[in-house]
Amino acid sequence: MNLKQDALELLTVALMAVNPKRLLPALITRDANHLRIKNIEITLEDDTNLYVIGFGKASGTMAEAIENILADRITGGIVIVPDNYTGKTVKICQREAGHPFPDERGLKATEEILQLLSQAQDSDLVICLISGGGSALLEKLPSTITLEMLREVTEIMLNSGATIEEVNTIRKNLSLVKGGKLATYIHPARCLSLILSDVIDDPLDVIASGPTAPDSTTLNDVREILKRYQLDTRFPEPVLTVLEKGLAGTPLQPDDPVFEKVSNIIVGNNLLALRAAEVKARQKGYQPMILGNRICGESREVARVIAEVMKEIVESEFPIQPPACVIFGGETTVTVEGSGLGGRNQELVLAALIELKEVDFPFVLLSCGSDGRDGPTDAAGAIITEKSWENALLAGLNPQSYLQNNDAYHFFERIDGLIKTGPTGTNVMDIGIVLLP
């Protein structure tokens, strides 16, 4: 067995399973003017205009897939993607914008989408393509909040150790298009939102900050988050005023009339990717086990658990026997205290390496962001073997120092441990793979 090669192959299989160009044609059946998507059937009348909008790391690939199915019926379309995440479309315009920090391009592209939606009538259909990353890309702000303030808030939140649910709660209450509010611009047209989930448990109101979904957060939730992370002393005063007084409007509730013609459909998620890797691992002769697709918490703490599971399998053949493949997914967090460069996956793998430094058995461990980008780096994640610790020492590196400085990127760059996939066209949280022969 070539453990490293096998692990990278399993990662590729997992990513392919959740690629929209594979997912959407399998989910959408078209017979002339009749569409069927899961249990929803739609008839496109002769006078029905079809508009396609979207935002997120996978929306360019999703747009490409939709255009291949419905190009002859598309009236117009705009999707917003991060730089270098575009798909190949003709009728659907693609606009690049800043991620994870919003920029002027995103604000302008959002206005373009809203202008397009202003043309939609009661008999029309709007297909909304939503994936993770959409929160930074789609934005319309209250008049008292500047882009610079939003960027400052985003940086503070992303470095605070807050969960994505907490980050997006703040985002929804600062936005005029999140928390179900985009549905007000689509109304009275019918809305079909196709959603690629990058959040644990696939909550509709959290993915991309739930632009077309009813919202469950309250002002009390906002206040608790501000207090928990001491944000009330760190956010700009105009931001706190909007949050405390609900000046961006209350996120919309399920009984709001704008949702009467809205259908939100999850088309893919992390578990789908993990199951594809599980099948492939079994075919390659490993005993696979999905540890879970809800792995969360601080990356360093998760790394400690993963390392202990690996030791347990080797020492007692529990909970599975070698040759073993442990697969896990979810989204960890990092409380940034150092000045280095990295991402939650790279930090997890570095922390695991420290926990595994004294083991005497062969292994491979990788963890990657499914979108191909881990934190503000060009790497998807990192990979280690039983030789990585020795390689680090031979290179004169102190792994603990790099971890303390949140500098996993430069550590793995020195020992050839970075995984660089480039933009994958999908986004379903993180994928971790362990192989033990």
Q: Which has the higher per-residue pLDDT, 216 or 153?
A: 153
266 Cβ contact partners less than 8 Å away, ≥ 6 residues apart: 195, 196, 197, 202, 204
Residue 129: which residues within 8 A CB-CB, separation 6 or more?
52, 53, 54, 55, 56, 58, 59, 62, 63, 66, 79, 193, 194
What the block records as the tokens of 401 is 């120092």
> What does the block give as tokens for 231?
């944000």
Same domain for 191 and 279, yes or no, is no
Identify the domain containing residue 198 by its residue range: 20-140+175-215+251-268
Residue-wise pLDDT tens digits, 225-279:
999 999 999 999 999 999 998 888 877 889 999 999 999 999 999 999 999 999 9
CATH, residue 134: 3.40.50.10180
- In this structure, are 54 and 121 located in the same domain? yes
Same domain, 180 and 310: no
- The three-class DSSP label of residue 207 is helix
**Is 29 within the bounds of a domain?**
yes
Same domain, 311 and 260: no
pLDDT tens for 396-431 read 999 999 999 999 999 999 999 999 999 999 999 999
Whether 234 is in a domain gets the answer: no
Quote the pLDDT of residue 52. Answer: 98
**Any idea which of 17-26, 30-39, 103-112 has the lowest mean pLDDT?**
30-39
The larger pLDDT score, comparing residue 246 to residue 298, is at: 298
Residues 6 or more apart from 208 whose CB is under 8 A from it? 55, 56, 130, 131, 132, 133, 134, 135, 138, 178, 195
pTM of the model as a whole: 0.95
Work out how many domains the chain is built from and give that number.
Answer: 2
DSSP state of 428: -
pLDDT at 249: 84
Residue 376 has pLDDT above 80, yes or no: yes
Identify any residues that bridge with 325 across adjacent strands, giving them in sequence order.
288, 435
In a domain, 246, yes or no: no
**What rounded mean pLDDT belongs to the chain?**
96
311 shares its domain with 256: no
The verdict on 389 and 426 lying in the same domain is: yes
| CA 52/CA 66 separation, integer angstroms | 9
Same domain, 289 and 191: no
Report the pLDDT value the prediction gives residue 111, as an integer from 0 to 100.
98
Give the domain-ending residue among 268, 303, 332. 268
* pLDDT > 90? residue 102: yes
Say how many CA atoms lie within 13 Å of 279 toward its Cβ.
9
Question: DSSP of 332-387, one letter per residue?
Answer: -B----SS----HHHHHHHHHHHHTTT--S--EEEEEETTS--SSSS-SEEEEETT
Look at the chain and count its residues. Answer: 437
325: CATH: 3.40.1480.10
- Torsion region of 246: left, alpha or beta (phi above 0 gives left; psi -120 to 50 gives alpha): left
- Give the dihedral sign, CA 204/113/74/181: positive
CB-CB contact of 53 with 111 (8 Å): no
50-86 confidence digits (pLDDT tens): 999 999 999 999 999 999 999 999 999 999 999 999 9
User: Does position 1 have pLDDT exceeding 90, yes or no?
Assistant: no
What's the confidence (pLDDT) of residue 95?
A: 98
- Dump the DSSP string for 127-163: EEEEETTHHHHS----TT--HHHHHHHHHHHHTTT--
Tens of pLDDT, residue by residue over 126-145, are: 999 999 999 999 999 999 99
Per-residue pLDDT tens for 319-368? Answer: 999 999 999 999 999 999 999 999 999 999 999 999 999 999 999 999 99
- Is 275 among the domain residues? yes
Based on the fold, state whether residues 256 and 292 are members of the same structural domain: no
H or E segment and range at residue 419: strand 418-419
d(CA 120, CA 49): 7
